[in-house]
Structure 1
């Protein structure tokens, strides 16, 4: 072989080697890429497996996998809980789970699964490990290999036992519903878009309409215009899907134009799309209960509002406002009898007769015997006029109204005033209204009579004051007058108390519990009024000058108060430093400390109450403090607390005068008084007395 041929072979061999190296390099790179790809596929497979496992384990309903022979292969947690079997410890088949009576249906469904590859909405009973029968709903499908060969079946099993029971119960109750509705003591109304569709016997009897008459009406037709917007507001929210039911108290118009107060519970009946199909209203007559509650509130409000009031006009305005609100009437007037002129004068009103300055416009004066008011003033007998168009005595005041109720205010057997109210609807006022107003008239008669007497006394007082100014006399006469007024006020209160007790005793077997509670409230109010008068007397007796100035040992004053006052066992009174001996009026100084200590006792809510009395000796005055750990006083009330009749906590014992007395005594000694307090931590009253 020649040299040229050898060179050619060498070059060819080199090229082959070089090509092989390139091929190996390419093969190495492809192998690396293949390995990396396989790694990614393996990671993705693990990730998907984990995801599927998570889905399997977290399916809310039971999930079951079985082979084509019916052997159970796998349960999720929900399936284990439903059937009660542990597949790790025991082998079970589908036949173990079937309820015997449903086996035929199960086999038919299984055939459908094999033929179609799936079935839906299978409902049957199963038997748990504890032999408990449960209703289930199943959707199932076959699991196949690539060659379309079925290897298993999977199903989602939902426990519908309770739903089934509810459905069966509803079916049983459905037939009873009509009977329940018709025989219910509560009125039931079915409406659609505000139109009355169906009613039961109870609401028909209550409103006085037949079923046919009501079916031609709307809810608005039987509602009062003032109440309808409130109902409509709830209906709008219901239409918007914000609420499904609501409860309100409202009035309904009866066929005879009288009023029904009812607790109305409205619920929406919606279709599958959530739209309102019907509204069901349960109408419960609460007229009597409301009347009783209003009567009690009225008596309480009138009694409280009259406390401390002796001005005839102020009393009349309070009565008018309270009665108008009780009657839900826009017109109420109080008349006072003028004996000299033999006429009735309007002194307070409610409604359209009041102008912007809260004064009565176009006052009318009625002679005794004229109109319904004048007739009642003459006879002394209360009346209800159901339709004023049929009574020729009716006198038009500011406008025509169809119902009127007129009640005399009688004191010592004589009519001294009239309570008169009107309403635009006929048949509006009831016997309960009349009975209540008669009771209110009796309650206020003495107060009003005292106010009338006081009005006369005020004229005398004014003349006396002019005379006192002219003669430069002291205020002794005024203090004596306060005692007289106090006596005059207490006398009618005691008379009222006696009358109340006589009425209770004479009719003790006739009154119900509500009436007895009302009498108890009256007696409590009378006691408080008498205490109020006593406190006012004490307050008024404190003059502007110290009349009796002697040396007073405050230590002995405190010691005496500890003996006089009722101090509960859980409250202790401590004097931190020895108190000084000061010149002053012992009685007034005792009143000062007594009121502060009494308040500290009265308003202490702690298991271990503590009252500390201390003093600082300054150059020209002593600074005292009375500290307690009681309920405290909010800062917003600190400025008003020393004003007369200002009581932050309404109670039988509190008249709102105690701290006013304290302030007046401190002022008498040319001192100052202030307080520091935190709610529920306690209060410290500081005051100074000049040396």
Structure 2
């Protein structure tokens, strides 16, 4: 039995430490570990196990010796239940296990062949066992306490490197996720602006104002042109903001609906109410949601309208949120409401918009939609409820 001298031990541990300086993947690290066990400790075999995601099994991740098929392949890789065999018991106890004669160890689990001695030490990370370094030998009594101490030191060295690699991987994934989130946020902002300044809305608004000018109605023309300009300024000012004052959102809705009213005249009726106790001048909610919802509702209902359309929008306080309800109906009276082509429909529905916003922010905006009698007429009405969180200043 060869006794390793202190000088040899220092050289062995130095080699283990230096061999991994350029390694940046966990797989490469584990194969480097088993390679060094074979070359520097003269083991017959070396296997590294890691716990699977469930924490219930050890999986062979790297092996040299009879278990190695070359090209970093493990011949008939096995999974060992935690608590079973030598390696499974090491996971349970968190302590090394030295078996001088496996014939005297009833829990021994043969792998590729039956061997007479085995040593296994835990790989610890933040006080928890994440894997095991294991080696077997055909001779009984081959492994010594010195081997245990060496493997413990090796496990500590490699566990530090595993921690480094995992931390770097986590940081990289976090950065990639952040970049993807930023990319989606930019996409969301562009889609929000596109939804608010949709070409057909801008064109139709300007066309309606132009009609007022042709009629020589200067007062109405100037008033609606001013409203249109205010609406554009508001949309642009909110583009990079996550929250908006409820008071300003309500004002925006009034401007928006006045432009729609200019276009459709008596065929469109609307009313916007805010509960007095809501303090809309101080409450802030997620921006760029409400107008997108109303745009969708109007597009959908006008598409199939046979008469006048009535819209009621209410805002109420519910705990730490604002409940917005929109009710829209169609009368049976045949009228002249302009039909819109399918091509004018928004490319993203308001539900998609809310889901995207929740994913990016997230605000946890809740919504419900269905059909109920309209509060003002008791006629069939489509309704949408949005639960918008009240945001801190």
TM bracket, shorter-chain basis: 0.3 to 0.5
Give the number of the structure with larger relative contact order, counting CA–CA contacts within 8 Å between residues 6 or more apart: 2
TM-score normalised by the chain length of structure 2: 0.44
**TM-score normalised by length of structure 1:** 0.25
